Chain A
Amino acid sequence: MPGDTAGLEALRPRVVGDLSGLPRDVIGMRNLNSWGLVGFMLIEGMGFGLAAASVLYLASQGAGWPPGGVLPPDHLFGLIFTLGLLASEWPNRWLARRAHDHDLRAMRWGMVLMTLFGLALIGVRAFEFMHLNVHWAANAYGSVIWLLMVLHTTHLVTDVADTAVQAGWLFRRRIEEKQYSGAVDNCAYWDFVVVTWLPLYALIYWMPRLWGPA
Chain B
Amino acid sequence: MAALDLNAPQADLAQDAAALDAIWRDPPGIRGFLTTVDHKRIAARYLVTTLALLVIAGILALDMRLQLSQPGLERMGPQAYNEAFTLHGSTMLFLVSVPVMEAMAIWLVPLMLGQRNLAYPRLTAYSYWLYLGGVLMLWVPHALGITPDLGWFQYPPLSGPAYGPGHRVDIWAQMITFTEVAALAASVNVAVTILKMRPPGMTLARMPLFLWAMLVTSVMTVLALPAVMLATSLLIADRLVSTQFFSPGAGGDVLLFQHIFWFFGHPEVYIIFIPAVGFVSAIVETFTRRAVFGYTVQVLAIISVGLLAFGLWVHHMFAVGLPRLGASFYTAASMAIALPIGLQIFSWIATIASGRPRFDTPLLWVTGFIATFVIGGLSGVMTASAPLDLQLTDTYFVVAHLHYVLIGGALFPLFGALTYWFPKATGRIMSEGWGKIAFWLVFVGFNIGFFPMHLLGLMGMPRRIYTYPAEAGWGTLNLVATAGMLIASLGAAIIVANAVISLRWGRRAGVDPWGGATLEWSCASPPPPWNFAATPVVASLTPGWEPPPRAVMTGLSLENREVLVTSVGDAVPEHRQPSPGPSIWPLLTALATALLFVGSIFTPWAVVWGSIPVAAALIGWFWPRTRPEEAQAEAP
Contact = CB atoms under 8 A, between A and B. Distances in A.
B471 interface: no
A57 B189 CA distance: 33
Nearest to B223: A46
B105 interface: no
B626 interface: yes
Interface in B404-458: 427
Contacts of A61: 251, 253
B250 A139 contact: yes
B551 to A, nearest CB: 4
A137 B244 contact: yes
Contact of B526 (A1, A12, A58, A144): A1
Interface string A172-194: 10111111000000000000000
B624 interface: yes
A80 interface: no
B239 to A, nearest CB: 12
Contact of A50 (B11, B230, B577): B230
A84 interface: no
B554 A3 contact: no
Interface in A1-42: 1-8, 10-26, 30-32, 35-36, 39-40, 42
A139 B244 contact: yes
Contact of A6 (B123, B252, B508): B508
A61 B247 CA distance: 12
A4 B509 contact: yes
B432 to A, nearest CB: 18
Contacts of B549: 11-14
A101 B446 CA distance: 63
Interface in B246-268: 247, 250-253, 256, 259-260, 263
A165 B256 CA distance: 39
A143 interface: yes
Interface string B228-246: 0110001001000111110
A43 B550 contact: no
A109 interface: no
A10 B548 contact: yes
Contacts of A3: 427, 523-528
Contact of A165 (B187, B512, B527, B619): B619
Nearest to B181: A43
A176 B509 CA distance: 45
Interface string B161-194: 0000000000000000000000010011101100
Nearest to B225: A43
Given A13-B550, A54-B256, A19 B564 contact: yes
A177 to B, nearest CB: 7
Interface residues of B, number: 91
B520 to A, nearest CB: 12
A18 to B, nearest CB: 4
Interface in B150-167: none
A19 B556 contact: yes
A207 interface: no
A3 B230 CA distance: 45
A58 B256 CA distance: 8
Given A4-B511, A47-B229, A67-B251, A16 B222 contact: no
A19 B535 contact: yes
Contacts of A172: 624
B195 A14 contact: no
Interface stretch (B2-10, B41-49, B53-61, B321-329): B2-10
Contact of A175 (B3, B200, B527, B624): B624
Contacts of B554: 15, 17-20
Interface in A128-154: 136-144, 146-147
Contact of B120 (A14, A36, A54): A36
Nearest to A59: B251
Given A50-B260, A67-B251, A43 B526 contact: no
Contact of A24 (B200, B575, B634): B575
B237 A22 contact: no
A51 interface: yes
Interface in B562-581: 562, 564-565, 573-578
B615 interface: yes
B92 interface: no
Contact of A141 (B189, B230, B251, B553): B251
Interface in B334-359: none
A6 B535 contact: no
Contact of A14 (B259, B551, B576): B551
A161 interface: yes
B27 to A, nearest CB: 16
Contact of A17 (B196, B200, B510): B200
Given A3-B427, A8-B511, A30-B575, A176 B243 contact: no
Contacts of A138: 244, 250
Contacts of A161: 615
A91 to B, nearest CB: 23
Contacts of B229: 47
Nearest to A26: B575
Contacts of B260: 50, 54
Interface string B112-141: 000000011001000000000000000000
Contacts of B252: 58, 139-140, 143
Given A12-B548, A137-B242, A40 B188 contact: yes
B624 A15 contact: no
A169 interface: yes
A63 interface: yes
Contacts of B527: 3
Nearest to A177: B630
Nearest to A6: B510
Contacts of B253: 57-58, 61, 140
B479 interface: no
Interface in A195-210: none
From A2, A46, A161, residue with most partner B Cβ within 10 Å? A46
B517 interface: no
Interface in B1-48: 2-6, 8-11, 13
Nearest to A30: B574
20 contacts: A3-B524, A4-B524, A8-B524, A16-B552, A18-B554, A26-B574, A26-B575, A42-B222, A46-B223, A50-B230, A50-B260, A54-B245, A54-B256, A58-B252, A58-B253, A63-B251, A140-B243, A140-B244, A140-B251, A176-B630
Which 7 pairs from chain A and chain B are nearest by CB? A3-B524, A20-B555, A39-B188, A19-B555, A7-B511, A143-B243, A140-B252
Given A32-B577, A54-B245, 16 more contacts: A4-B524, A15-B553, A16-B551, A17-B537, A19-B554, A36-B188, A39-B187, A44-B226, A46-B227, A51-B230, A139-B250, A139-B251, A140-B250, A147-B237, A172-B624, A175-B624
